[in-house]
Amino acid sequence: MTRQAIQTNGAPAALGPYSQAIRSGEFVFCSGQVGIDPATGELVDGIAAQAERSLRNLQSVLDAAGLGFDDVVKTTIFLADVNDFATVNAIYARFMADPPPARSTIGVGALPKGARIEIEAIARRTIADAVATRHA
């Protein structure tokens, strides 16, 4: 099975030796996105703004893969402060299609660049999309 890197200027460049996302077969594995504004390279202020920016960055990566949030089957949210859970849930719910994907939320000691949240996702292309891409 081949791996294809997904890259977009609509999300911040990778902060290390990894891809924004990798397509492998029917699946797209999106690296974690923090609340960095890709236009400025700066982390936005506050948990609400960082959660929204993280999801918009993730949306850009999914768009570059020809997918959307309705294709997401699993997300993982990393929170520097689990007390931000309710705020993040309210923002997250605006982005996710019903039924929402499976999800894990993990409290962590620290995140890159001092971020308060990081969100990663796994999305699945439909069989028809996968076949069309193989024959393109």
pLDDT in tens, 95-115: 998 999 999 999 999 999 999
- Predicted confidence (pLDDT) per residue in 46-94, tens digit: 999 999 999 999 999 999 999 999 999 999 999 999 999 999 999 999 9
Spatial CB neighbours of 54, under 8 Å, sequence gap ≥ 6: 33, 34, 35, 115, 117, 118, 119
**What domains sit in the chain, N to C, each tagged with a CATH number?**
4-16+23-134 (3.30.1330.40)
Q: Does pLDDT of 12 surpass 50? A: yes
The whole-number pLDDT of residue 15 equals 81
Please state, in angstroms and rounded to a whole number, the distance separating the CA atoms of residues 88 and 133. 34
Q: Does pLDDT of 128 surpass 80? A: no
Q: Does pLDDT of 124 surpass 70? A: yes
